[in-house]
């Protein structure tokens, strides 16, 4: 099993050996915040080809948030399982240490 899944109130936490995700349901969409070693690496992942891997599988997503530090994925509910697994394997296969940027340090994760 890749993910440990916990529901706390209206938040669902996905935790693995490589990252943690905070999910919140909104109508038929899911908002997903990503924490890799205390950093939000959504923007660097896009620059390293994550968009292409997701597109190849027919998943559509948007990015929400005011700034790169606050960015989160927005996906359709029915794509959730495949999407979170793709995030996991993308991080496992790439040297994400090089994606860490002090400007993307997550200050509050709850």
Strand ranges (E), 1-110: 4-8, 11-15, 20-26, 29-35, 61-64, 72-76
Is position 30 within any domain? yes
CATH code of 55's domain: 3.30.70.260
Q: How many domains does the chain have?
A: 1
Residue 77 pLDDT exceeds 80: yes
Is position 109 within any domain? no
Residue 103 pLDDT exceeds 90: no
> How does pLDDT run across 30-56, given as a tens digit for each residue?
999 999 998 888 888 888 788 888 988
Is position 110 within any domain? no
Is position 31 within any domain? yes
Is position 15 within any domain? yes
Q: Whole-prediction pTM value?
A: 0.89
Is position 9 within any domain? yes
Cα within 13 Å of Cα(83), Cβ side = 24
Q: To 5 degrees, how large is the angle CA 105–CA 36–CA 38?
A: 35
Is position 98 within any domain? yes
């Amino acid at each position: 099993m890749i993910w440990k899944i916990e529901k706390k109130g209206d938040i669902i936490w996905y935790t693995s050996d490589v990252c943690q995700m905070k999910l919140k349901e909104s109508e038929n969409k899911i908002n997903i915040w990503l924490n890799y070693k205390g950093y939000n690496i959504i923007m660097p992942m896009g620059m390293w080809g994550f968009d292409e891997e997701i597109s190849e599988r027919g998943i559509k997503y948007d990015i929400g948030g005011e700034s790169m530090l606050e960015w989160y994925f927005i996906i359709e509910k029915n794509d959730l399982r495949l999407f979170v697994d793709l995030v996991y394997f993308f991080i496992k296969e790439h040297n994400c240490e090089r994606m860490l940027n002090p400007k993307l340090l997550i200050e509050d994760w709850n």
